[in-house]
Amino acid sequence: MAAPSGGSSGGGASLWAVLLLGAVAVRPAEAVSEPTTVAFDVRPGGVVHSFSQNVGPGDKYTCKFTYASQGGTNEQWQMSLGTSEDHQHFTCTIWRPQGKSYLYFTEFKAEVRGAEIEYAMAYSKAAFERESDVPLKNEEFEVTKTAVAHRPGAFKAELSKLVIVAKASRTEL
């Protein structure tokens, strides 16, 4: 698991993410609202493209995926967003439902607005049929409070899935 770098040790965030993800797996109807899933095309050509969606009361949270890729033809990907019952947490999953992408990604970044990332992971291969998710090596991507992105020079251009769990940003009174 990857937690935002910097600030704290991240142990609490990692533990919280495991607990939240466990609660979602055991009791999804009570832990998270029905997710909204939207299909979009990932287009090669080396040009930077973006796709974003909002979720939560009053579209409180935003998840934005920005990328550039080469090779092949368009691929259909999906973005799923859901919120916890109390609307204090949200999840954003971006992935290729057919598993592995055949595009060569030159860059990627998934950003959240209205929340801070508690957990994020990037995968070179998404689970499909009998195959499991294959995570990127930690040195290939970085996680901050509001984004997960490739690390220039270390990212090996394979991306098929991103998962983010975020908590509502605190507002100072």
Q: How much of the chain exceeds pLDDT 70, in percent?
A: 79
pLDDT reported for residue 18:
42
What is the spatial distance between Cα 105 and Cα 131, in angstroms, rounded to a whole number? 22
**Residue 15 phi, psi dihedral angles, 5° rounding:** -65, -45
pLDDT reported for residue 173:
53
pLDDT reported for residue 28:
40
Domain range list for the chain: 36-168
Token pair of 53 as six digits: 């969606």
- Note the pTM of the prediction, 2 decimals: 0.81
* Res. 31: pLDDT tops 80: no
What is the spatial distance between Cα 34 and Cα 169, in angstroms, rounded to a whole number? 22
Q: What digits encode the pLDDT tens for the residues 102-123?
A: 999 999 999 999 999 999 999 9
What is the spatial distance between Cα 65 and Cα 77, in angstroms, rounded to a whole number? 11
If we measure between CA atoms, which residue out of 107, 88, 104, 130 comes closest to residue 44?
104
Token pair of 102 as six digits: 């055949």
Banded model confidence at residue 171, pLDDT cuts 50, 70, 90: low
User: Collapsing DSSP states into helix, strand and coil, what is residue 13?
Assistant: helix
If we measure between CA atoms, which residue out of 27, 26, 53 comes closest to residue 38?
53
* Alpha helices (H) along the chain: 11-26, 28-31
Q: What digits encode the pLDDT tens for the residues 121-132?
A: 999 999 988 889
Q: What digits encode the pLDDT tens for the residues 61-108?
A: 999 999 999 998 999 999 999 999 999 999 999 999 999 999 999 999
Sign, CA torsion 72/95/37/66: negative
